[in-house]
Amino acid sequence: MSYLLSKYTPPDTQGCVQRITPETANWHFVGFSAYQLQSGQSVVGKGDTNEVCVVVIAGTATVRTDTDSFDKIGDRNSPFEKRDGTYIKPYSVYIPGAMDFTITGDTDCEIGVCKAPDMSLTGENNRLVSRLIPPDEVGAETRGRGRNVRRVHNILPEWEPAQSLLVVEVFTEQGNTSSYPSHKHDQDNLPHESLLEETYYHRLNPAQGFCMQRVYTDDRTLDECMAVHDKDVVMVPKGYHPVATVAGYDNYYLNVMAGPTKIWKFHTQPDHSWINTESYV
């Protein structure tokens, strides 16, 4: 099994099913945990040097910080749920570093906890406050053409207040590709390319399905191809990282990105740059 693939494990006593840290991933910026909380179950987060984005992936939860309480947030029973033919957007909460927080399930719920360094704690940036990110503040867009179409929810894009975190969720229907044409963001070389580590928290519908993800560099010193199942995490320390679905199974993933600058500037692999142009249908 690839060292870039973190397999789903049953919930521990805190409801945690995934925990990625800079130490376990052998990188510097991104942390990600996923929780399956039962109704009434709580998980406590201690404020540290990281800012946090709590994403209510499914169900309803209450998020309390040192300064605020965001009660009974969440508007979908599954990330794949649609309303009027459109994927329902999530509720999320931004929490600055050095602030304790508690997440309590108001129903059985699925929670993503995204982390990255809070630069304000070193005096580099202005301090931010905790805030709710409701669905009407989440931008939605369709990217790609033909069999490369996917739907994107911009939860915490680069133009919204945060120190390091970039958070999006992406829906790719059966038979389509995503994070494609193959692109990378592993060079601190602005304005041409930014350095961003990235995690993919995958969901499949129906849940017994799988998708494929490849992570590779130009020189192929890194070249990993993974069969990814429901609630697995793929870590992308560098290189290109396309996703492909298979017939019968739709794919959702929650992306967390972070690096030395909060800018998403990627480089497309030249061989595949013609995808999404008028030459491709």
Residues contacting residue 159 through CB under 8 Å, at least 6 positions apart: none
Strands 50-65 and 42-45: unpaired
Q: What share of the chain is helix, strand, coil (3-state, %, to 5)?
A: 5, 50, 45
Beta-carbon contacts of residue 18 (< 8 Å; ≥ 6 apart): 6, 8, 9, 32, 33, 34, 201, 231, 233
User: What is the per-residue pLDDT across 199-248, written as a single tens digit (0 to 9) for each?
Assistant: 999 999 999 999 999 999 999 999 999 999 999 999 999 999 999 999 99
Q: How far is CA 248 from CA 44, 173, 175, 251, in A?
A: 38, 9, 8, 10
Please provide the DSSP assignment of 248-275 as one string. Answer: T-EEEEEEEEE-SSS----EE-GGGTTT
Q: What are 111's two structure tokens?
A: 């929670």
Sign of torsion over alpha carbons 204, 149, 271, 190:
negative
Cα–Cα distance for residue pair 234/222, rounded to 1 Å: 14
Closest by CA position to 45, among listed 113, 131, 109: 113
pTM score of the predicted model: 0.97
- End-to-end CA gap in the chain: 35
**CB neighbour class for 90 (10 Å; exposed up to 12, middle 13-18, buried from 19):** buried
Low-confidence ranges of the chain (pLDDT < 50): none
Give burial (CB, 10 Å; 0-12/13-18/19+) of 141. exposed
Query: Looking at this protein, which amino acid is placed at residue 232?
Result: D
What is residue 204's predicted lDDT score, i.e. its pLDDT? 98
